[in-house]
Amino acid sequence: MAYLTKREKEILAHLKKDPTISQEELAKKLQITRSAAAVHISNLMRKGFILGRGYILDERSGILIAGKAWLEISAQVEDSTIDLSCGGIGFLMATELAKHQLKPTLFTVLGKDDVGDHIYQQLQENGVNVQHIIRSHSYSTPKRLIVRNGASELYQIAAANVYNFSEDEKKNWDDLLHSAKVLLIDSSFEQLIEGLFEQIKEYNLFTSIIGASLNWSIEKGFTRLPQVFLVCDENELYNFAGGFQLGLPETSFPVCQKIADHGLAALVVVFPQQGVVLSTKKETLFLPASPLKGTGTVMGIATGIAGGLAAGYGFRQATRRAMGKS
């Protein structure tokens, strides 16, 4: 799993064979000092692979992504060109994480057709775990057409394909939730959003809902869950609550803190030129962006935070790492 050193992997292997092994015995097997073994154990606890004394191991896997994938058809009137690419929140989040040597698991639905084959192959080549993608003859892989004239979008058309999950597929989804450390889910995946509130609570699963407005998240009750972290940009926050000056992150502190006090794990607001505001129940602070790299996109920050949380970091460090990777 990501962020484990070779030595840490060796230690986990020994602990799985004998959870009652002492640090002295462990040090002897690895031919290191007891104090070195203690440091490795401490690091594994910090990273979340050991849950407590007695070497209770966390067998949960890494990041689970649930989101749509489709073929994007972009037509440009100005120069009469047509471009084809893979799109959809599920595809974009999965490939974004895979860029950083992570191997996220993607749960989505693709048709048993040429378009579905192409998207599936692209995901595989990018290093995404495609084992749990559903392929169906009765479902046509979605397509979206966007027509632009220069920088102006004239219109877009998306196929409204609906897939009805079987009981076995619902069970597989539930098993994936139970075994994941972090969930990133596309808010438009309505079949999976239904019932998600209780599943997040039951499995104590860090979750971020991508593509949802703050108003939608509050209406659905997700801001009351201490496992949920939300990432939005300054415009979304301003449209929802107002009460601060765009482009001045510190003026948004009271608004951010009020939302965080609903009970969610964290609210992260992206200010594209300046950095991000991170608000939890304990604190609200501003993390400035690198002058050379900028802040990054909402999706880039959300996936970066997910990677940090899966590796055992807290929100502040996970957010800093996300800004460095975006």
Domains 1-59 and 63-169 share a fold: no
Q: Which residues, other chains included, contact 45 with Cβ-Cβ below 8 Å and sequence gap of 6+?
A: 51, 52
- Residue with the bigger pLDDT between 46 and 166: it is 166
pLDDT band at 25 (very low <50, low <70, confident <90, very high): confident
| Whole-number pLDDT of residue 256 | 97
Report yes or no: 300 and 322 within 8 Å, Cβ to Cβ. Answer: yes
Token readout for 312 is 């055992």
* Structure confidence by residue, pLDDT tens digits, 89-139: 999 999 999 988 788 999 999 999 999 999 999 999 999 999 999 999 999
pLDDT at 326 over 70: no
* Topology of the domain comprising 212-325: UDP-N-acetylmuramoyl-L-alanine:D-glutamate ligase (3.40.1190)
Instruction: Quote the CA–CA distance of 232 and 267 in Å, as a whole number.
Output: 8
Domain ranges of the chain: 1-59, 63-169, 212-325
CATH architecture, domain defined by 63-169: 3-Layer(aba) Sandwich (3.40)
* Strand arrangement, sheet containing 81-87: 81-87, 70-76, 143-149, 152-158
Look at residues 276, 284, 280 and name the one whose alpha carbon lies nearest to residue 302: 276
Dump pLDDT digits (tens) for 276-293: 999 999 999 999 998 767
What's the pLDDT at 56? 55
The confidence score (pLDDT) of residue 130 equals 95
On the 0-12 / 13-18 / 19+ scale of CB atoms within 10 A, 231 is: buried
Cα–Cα dist 51/44, whole Å: 9
Could you tell me the two tokens for 55?
């070497």
Instruction: Please state the rounded mean pLDDT for residues 233-251.
Output: 96
H, E, C per residue of the chain = CCCCCHHHHHHHHHHHHCCCCCHHHHHHHHCCCHHHHHHHHHHHHHCCCECCCCCCECCCCCEEEECCCEEEEEEECCCCEEEEEEECHHHHHHHHHHCCCCCCEEECEEECCHHHHHHHHHHHHCCCECCCCEEECCCCCCEEEEEEECCEEEEEEECCCCCCCCHHHHHHHHHHHHHCCEEEEECCCHHHHCCHHHHHHHHCCEEEEECCCHHHHHHCCHHHCCCEEEEEEHHHHHHHHCCCCCCCHHHHHHHHHHHHCCCCCEEEEEECCCEEEEECCCCEEEEECECCCECCCHHHHHHHHHHHHHCCCCHHHHHHHHHHHC
Read off the pLDDT band of 58 (50, 70, 90). low
Q: Which of 213-227, 269-283, 311-325 has the lowest mean pLDDT?
A: 311-325
Residue 51 binned pLDDT confidence (cut-offs 50, 70, 90): low
Query: In the chain, what is the straight-line distance between the N-terminal and C-terminal CA atoms, in Å?
Result: 21
pLDDT tens sequence across 296-311: 899 999 999 999 998 8
Please report how many Cα atoms fall inside a 13 Å half-sphere around the Cα of residue 165, on the Cβ side: 20
Bridge partners (DSSP) of residue 230 are 267
Which residues lie below 8 Å from residue 5, measured CB to CB, with a gap of 6+? Answer: none
Residue 2's pLDDT band, with cuts at 50, 70 and 90, is: very low
What is the pLDDT of the chain when averaged over all its residues?
90
**Which fold is adopted by the domain 1-59?**
Arc Repressor Mutant, subunit A (1.10.10)
At 125-178, the pLDDT tens digits run: 999 999 999 999 999 999 999 999 999 999 999 887 889 999 999 999 999 999
pTM given for the model? 0.80
Smallest CA-to-CA distance from 117 within 132, 133, 97 is with 133
